[in-house]
Structure 1
């Protein structure tokens, strides 16, 4: 079985173990919620004694990078979720202007990420990216909105991983966390709009094709076009929701009955 851990070459100290696991978290190889191998197996993979490994894991836990569940193993901590604290996330969710600012930020940063991805993606990166595109295509064909929205977020995470820039990686992951946590408009409402799913799939394919082709300019343009569409669709979905809410209030006020669901 393949492993992301490698033998500690020099000294075999707790500091060496700490540095290796820190780097794996920083580079996005280990994500929040990932479970580390058991103590015996991890010590074997790192080629260190179990007392040294325990010291390293204790230091990592004290720094908030991992957490141990009693009887349930050791996991990478939710370090991404801490970029936007719960109070800040609540403020963002309650102010409409934040949605526009969020998309404006994503437009510029994702353009850079896509450009870098086209320049830097390795063959291994492209294998993972292709697998995500296949899942997105399958969800699209099955009309599974939830799965399609999930693969959408995973696709964007993979693009920024292909960019191989640590700061881009963690800032955009924090942005995508807001999206997956439902801080902004539920993405499935956009998917329910006429032809939006086909448009979004085509835009993701355009970004993917440009990255695979190693065309930075095309990748940048495709990323910008995608966010421009998402911005427009978000506004239209919000406006449509407001129309429906007001119409329902009028209907209730005038003693009507709810319309039959199609």
Structure 2
């Protein structure tokens, strides 16, 4: 990951290299940098030069030194929405359709670009995630399935090799992980959702593997359409159940006397 730096640039070269790794998503929020001695050896710089580079990165709020714990990449994924707008959306569920529309557009574009740009290691990672998805499905491990679902979409975003898209998607998926827009467990309540979702992810991965951007784009859109439709059906059933409960609990009228 870390390479020897140009000694003509000294600390600036070390800064540029670490910044580039962060920008391209190789170093991610929360990742720990190697110990100072090891990192200096990897980059072929003196420890004073490395300390100067790390100081600059810390001033730019890209890394942080934790007392007795090492140096870590800062939490760089800011909220894609303010807390106020998140709460506003939560109070107005109809706005969630806009969230799905946003995901439908950006994820299908990411999948299409991944089909063109994915490196062999990107495809290998997708294959591994799909394999683990199958194992989690077979074991009926819903928590693992939900976690791997997010991992899969992260991997597609990384395989698109567009840094702006990558960081936008990561911010979006943080909301997904936190259940901001919908309850993922509610989605899994649908009797065929788990197998349908697994197959959809396999289809997206296969299209990327075959270098078919049109199919990857279509499969990604179909996936979002399915999630949106299934959740809409679940919400409609919840409303019907609530109404039925109100009717059932309504006091019975006294029978008319003959």
With the length of structure 1 as denominator, give the TM-score of the two structures: 0.89
1:50 lines up with 2:75 in the alignment: no
Matches within 5 A, 1:134-145: 134-145=131-142
CA displacement, residues 107-146 of structure 1 (integer Å, 9 cap, x when unaligned): 1111111111001111111111111111111111111111
Matches within 5 A, 1:9-48: 9-48=6-45
Is the contact between residue 116 and residue 211 of structure 2 (CA under 8 Å) also seen in structure 1? yes
Q: 1:49 to 1:209 in 2, by over 3 A?
A: same
Query: 1:74 is paired with a residue of what secondary structure?
Result: strand
Equivalent residue in structure 2 for 1:166, among 163, 167, 173: 163
1:157 lines up with 2:154 in the alignment: yes
CA displacement, residues 4-61 of structure 1 (integer Å, 9 cap, x when unaligned): 1111134252211111111111111111111111111111111111112112222212
Structure 1 range deviating more: 232-241 or 219-228: 232-241
Equivalent residue in structure 1 for 2:71, among 74, 79, 104: 74
Is the contact between residue 117 and residue 159 of structure 2 (CA under 8 Å) also seen in structure 1? yes
1:182 lines up with 2:179 in the alignment: yes
1:113 lines up with 2:104 in the alignment: no
1:146 lines up with 2:131 in the alignment: no
| Counterpart Cα distance in 1 of 2:47 and 2:163 | 31
1:95 lines up with 2:95 in the alignment: no
Q: 1:141 to 1:16 in 2, by over 3 A?
A: same
Query: 1:68 is paired with a residue of what secondary structure?
Result: strand
Structure 2: gaps (5+ residues): 252-258
Q: 1:243 to 1:21 in 2, by over 3 A?
A: farther
Q: 1:233 to 1:43 in 2, by over 3 A?
A: same
Query: 1:81 is paired with a residue of what secondary structure?
Result: coil
**Larger radius of gyration, structure 1 or 2?**
2
Structure 1: gaps (5+ residues): 255-262
Q: 1:211 to 1:186 in 2, by over 3 A?
A: same
CA-based RMSD: 2.0
Is the contact between residue 80 and residue 172 of structure 2 (CA under 8 Å) also seen in structure 1? no
